[in-house]
Structure 1
């Protein structure tokens, strides 16, 4: 792999990080968000500092031959810890337990990082190696232990992530399950990276040469694994947000029938609220619900409870469940009240004991049922025809 093959994944991580930083600035106390930012930062740093051009530059700037080796190993170890901490925070649970488990992983991998630095300081690496450091120094005292330790730490994190994500994916559904399965696929590539690295290093220990596995096969596996894993962390968050937006706009659209029905009840001269095209869907839904409830207020004097009870019985007789029958009855009462209001230009005065719609305690869900019934219920259509006659 050349420098571009490392810098492209690093750039992808940087772009993802740029999208997360504004959210972190507004909610920096969120441990899950901090974990995501830490993971993306460390993943980008690993690819940046593992690129051969960066390795040569760091060695030259520090004046220490092969200084980049322990630096990359430490970053990779910290990245492994960040993945485990992110998974712990993502899974959730009691805050004390989550914090305790996260601290254990952080302390354990911090000890590994300290050991890597100490082992490098004790060993000798006089020849600069930009691509094959692992196999070239596989039999060097202390350095061989450093190489084995970072590979073991990375392998443990990969195995734990695969097991945790697989078990969790069997307990959830939707976008979260898809994201977890993507993470599992990414860490399978990481396990393949560990296998190729360990095979090449072990071959050196026994006097054989499988250096190509470490030099040419392992790096692409690491790049693919990191990108796929990062996608698995991001997909559930992004797709869930898109799904929420879609649901909001669907709610706004489905409330349209009821909203248009009660508009006639607004007093003449009432100004209509105009929203800019960029207004958030949530605000539009709130405004539409407010308009509907205002309409109910003005239709109150025309609500006929007897008609509502009759429509409820008709809906039940046609096989509707109680919840649907209540929505059909409310819709029929609203439709009849709108016709009565249209036939009364003077309008009745709204008193203190206005008969209002009783079944809207659950908010938008009941209003959606009423709006749907206004458009599709035969009982409501029959009431409209009867009132018109």
Structure 2
């Protein structure tokens, strides 16, 4: 489970170089990473290794409980960022969440340092030390913190689900609710029941040691998928658009790549196969714009003036006439650079390329 969540965090780290780093993206990655840390710390093998390395019996317990509390905090922050709203309100809620759970983590560490827990317990620490001073309070605190986050998340998701949400967002909310329900009933409730049973003199340790761990893993997997699915869906849609634009630009690139002034260094297939379509599009647009800038010397401003005048005469608006003028000069420049033009060009002193490249590529495709 930890390996899966780390792989998920690694996938989320990949982003096009032109994509800005958003708080939602950071929160999503952080949540996946912290979830992986939780499952890593809670593994008996890890607990035994940490206890042995530090020489402190059960020191892995506050590490595990602190990571669970940090995960609860990150889930709330992720939902706050996902829900959106005024930036100041989001920042205030995030700060409050961090303060509350930061205080909880400090209390967990402090209570463990005060407790007498010399007998190492790798799988049943919650119930074994349920009646031990300070350990009892530490266990109750982390369970309360996790249960609180589950209640908050469930309430917000239920309220949000009543709104008009569709598509992957609705699917994601349902997955989150299903995962939270499984976590609340299968992990938190069983842990609380086992601990309370110990307080009352009964032994229901099997709930804590056998039922809770797989329920936590499955619940975490389900609601993690609920958070990530809409993000991956929107990213996939953006990549599909980038792929469509990349293919649409191929006629334009074919027209300019063989021009003498165009850049000759074209990425090879083994440099491109692993890249996202958005990254490929970025490289292709950069090459095309570089080629078009170098074609400025072959552009004829007389062609632009005549095209602009004709467009205005037809009743075209100023912006459309300017675009038509720019497009005509570029196409004429490609012809002249290829040796197909008539007479010397009269290049403009300043020529800024503002036309949409896909629109230009469609025109080039029609002409050919």
C-alpha contact 1:180 1:232 (8 A) present in aligned 2: yes
The change in CA–CA distance for 1:42 and 1:345 in structure 2 (over 3 A counts) is closer
In the alignment, is residue 54 of structure 1 matched against residue 49 of structure 2? no
Equivalenced residue count is 348
Deviations for 1:350-382, whole angstroms, at most 9, x for unmatched residues?
A: 36599x99xx96x42xx5346547768xxx9xx
Matched residue, 1:187: 180
In the alignment, is residue 284 of structure 1 matched against residue 284 of structure 2? yes
Deviation at 1:220, TM superposition (A): 0.8
Deviation at 1:13, TM superposition (A): 3.7
Deviation at 1:282, TM superposition (A): 0.8
C-alpha contact 1:119 1:146 (8 A) present in aligned 2: yes
C-alpha contact 1:330 1:370 (8 A) present in aligned 2: no
Deviation at 1:178, TM superposition (A): 5.5
Cα distance between partner residues in 2 of 1:369 and 1:21: 32
Deviation at 1:218, TM superposition (A): 0.9
Alignment match of 1:244 (pick from 238, 241, 249): 238
In the alignment, is residue 79 of structure 1 matched against residue 71 of structure 2? yes
The secondary structure found in structure 1 opposite 2:267 is: coil
Matched residue, 1:197: 191
The change in CA–CA distance for 1:85 and 1:326 in structure 2 (over 3 A counts) is same
The secondary structure found in structure 1 opposite 2:299 is: helix
Matched residue, 1:275: 266
Alignment match of 1:99 (pick from 88, 91, 94): 91
The change in CA–CA distance for 1:296 and 1:184 in structure 2 (over 3 A counts) is farther
Matches for 1:107-122 after TM superposition, within 5 Å: 107-120=99-112
The change in CA–CA distance for 1:49 and 1:272 in structure 2 (over 3 A counts) is closer
Matches for 1:25-174 after TM superposition, within 5 Å: 35-36=27-28, 38-91=30-83, 95-120=87-112, 124-125=116-117, 127-165=119-157, 167=159, 170=163
Larger Rg over CA atoms: 1
Deviation at 1:189, TM superposition (A): 3.1
Q: TM-score, normalised by structure 1?
A: 0.65
Cα distance between partner residues in 2 of 1:229 and 1:349: 64
CA RMSD across the alignment: 5.0
Cα distance between partner residues in 1 of 2:327 and 2:88: 53
Q: Which runs of 5+ in 1 are unaligned?
A: 1-8, 314-321, 385-389
Q: TM-score, normalised by structure 2?
A: 0.68
Deviations for 1:227-274, whole angstroms, at most 9, x for unmatched residues?
A: 34444455555554454344233213213445667899x7xx555644
Cα distance between partner residues in 2 of 1:62 and 1:345: 79
Q: Which runs of 5+ in 2 are unaligned?
A: 273-279
Cα distance between partner residues in 2 of 1:295 and 1:185: 60
C-alpha contact 2:65 2:142 (8 A) present in aligned 1: yes
C-alpha contact 1:77 1:154 (8 A) present in aligned 2: yes
The change in CA–CA distance for 1:331 and 1:179 in structure 2 (over 3 A counts) is farther
The change in CA–CA distance for 1:92 and 1:335 in structure 2 (over 3 A counts) is closer
Deviation at 1:153, TM superposition (A): 0.7
